[in-house]
Amino acid sequence: MSRLLAFGEVLVDWIPLEFQRQGKIDIPIYGQYPGGAPANVAVAVAGLGQPAYMLGQLGEDAAGVYLRDCLQQQQVNCDYLLHSSEHPTPMAFVSLDVSGERSFSFHRNNSADLKLSFNDFPQQLFSGAGLFHICSNTLTEAAIADTTLQAITAAKQGGMLISFDVNLRLALWPSTEQLIPRVMQAAALSDMLKLSLEEWDYLAKGVQVDDLASHMFALGVKLILLTDGAEPVQLFSAKETLQLATPKVDVVDTTGAGDAFTGAWLASLIEQGITDSAALEHAISLVSPLADALNHAVVAGALAVTKRGAWSALPSHHDIQQFIQHKE
């Protein structure tokens, strides 16, 4: 059975809910939300009715227990979400500006998600039709980067499609010296690449090419999804370019919007049976299956910014369909 394997970090997002006045000081009151980019995608896919597994590691602490329980409540398979008694669960503190845009402060020093080995997982897990999804946050340090690249290679050799959301968080990199080489190494193993316009410009400058899309296609990437906030989303293949405007909505919190977009995109691919190389090539030749998946992704991303949090803001299949029908 086709399924999503999401690999990477699960963490607690501490998000400011309000400010409490104490004397002359405004004290931020934070809410504890489950998060982590690949975990957000797994929850989004499961919420849209497709099988999703979370591959990673939590600490044996209160945060780890909380996150595992949250994932299981969202119908994400946690059989391969490991636990460490020696390393803590990572956390992120989120700040929001007046427009709802985020900035992050990470507590991820020597955390459990960084202490995974490829041999911690059974090899048969990576075989069969399905989607293997990663983000660049498991490329930030040498050991976890090696584990990530081994897992991608095994999944690709096992017949799975590789989805890579670049999702750069520069604050997580001890040094950006290895950022471009590691990201490009992961991209060269990937079938589908998702990145923002800001990340596009960063990578293009880093690899010193004028046409990043052609460079990626030459590496073996089949599809590129390019987002730019509220601007139209673009989908590139070597032969076709699609562009789709994003709906106008009232923005409350952009946390997890990109992951809602990616989750709906991947869930639509699974639903359509686009889970191996041959099926992807056929979909690229037809174009319409990809256009349908992109439409679902754009709507999901737009709906996600209208609510606070990552998982709590993810739209259901009904929400997406109702929005699409109303739009039409």
Q: Tell me: the pLDDT tens digits for 64-114?
A: 999 999 999 999 999 999 999 999 999 988 776 766 566 778 889 899 999
- On the question of pLDDT at 308 being above 90, the answer is no
CB 5 within 8 A of CB 160: yes
pLDDT tens for each residue of 202-211:
999 999 988 9
Q: What confidence tier does 56 reach under pLDDT thresholds 50, 70, 90?
A: very high
Burial status of residue 223 (CB atoms within 10 A of its CB: 0-12, 13-18, 19 or more): buried
Rounded CA separation 114/174 (Å): 13
Q: Report helix, strand or coil for 12.
A: strand
* Residue 12: C-alpha distances to residues 40, 58, 61, 217, 317 (Å): 11, 11, 12, 36, 25
**What confidence score (pLDDT) does residue 100 get?**
59
Q: How far apart are CA 225 and CA 259, in angstroms?
A: 13
> What percentage of residues in the chain have a pLDDT greater than 90?
75
Instruction: Give the three-state DSSP class for 248.
Output: coil
pLDDT at 328 over 80: no
Q: Which of 204, 203, 137 is nearest to 164 (CA)?
A: 137
User: When comparing pLDDT for 275 and 328, which is higher?
Assistant: 275
- Pairing status of strand 11-22 against strand 91-96: parallel
pLDDT above 90 for 14? no
User: 39: exposed, middle or buried (C-beta count within 10 Å: 0-12, 13-18, 19+)?
Assistant: buried
Q: What average pLDDT is seen over the chain? A: 93
Specify whether the CB–CB gap between 54 and 80 falls below 8 A: yes
User: What does each C-alpha distance from 54 to 84, 102, 145, 258 come to in angstroms?
Assistant: 16, 25, 17, 18
Q: How many residues does the chain have?
A: 328
Cα gap 221→101, rounded to integer Å: 30
Lowest-pLDDT range of 14-28, 185-199, 257-271, 292-306: 14-28
pTM of the model: 0.93
What backbone phi and psi angles, to 5 degrees, belong to 57? -155, 135
**First-to-last CA distance in the chain?**
33
Q: Pull the structure tokens for residue 108.
A: 């991820």
- Taking only the tens place, the pLDDT of each residue in 217-276 is 999 999 999 999 889 999 999 999 999 999 988 888 777 789 999 999 999 999 999 999
DSSP calls for 48-113:
TTS-EEEEEEEESSHHHHHHHHHHHHTT-B-TTEEEESSSPPPEEEEEE-TTS-EEEEEE-TT-GG
More confident position, 327 or 216:
216
What is the predicted pLDDT for the residue at 102?
Answer: 65
pLDDT tens track for 147-168: 999 999 999 999 999 999 999 9
Q: Give dist(CA 12, CA 187) in Å, integer.
A: 27
Please give the pLDDT value at position 28.
82
> 185-194: per-residue pLDDT in tens?
999 999 999 9
At 52 the pLDDT is 98
List, as one string, the DSSP characters of 98-147.
Answer: TTS-EEEEEE-TT-GGG---GGGS-GGGG-SSSEEEEEGGGSSSHHHHHH
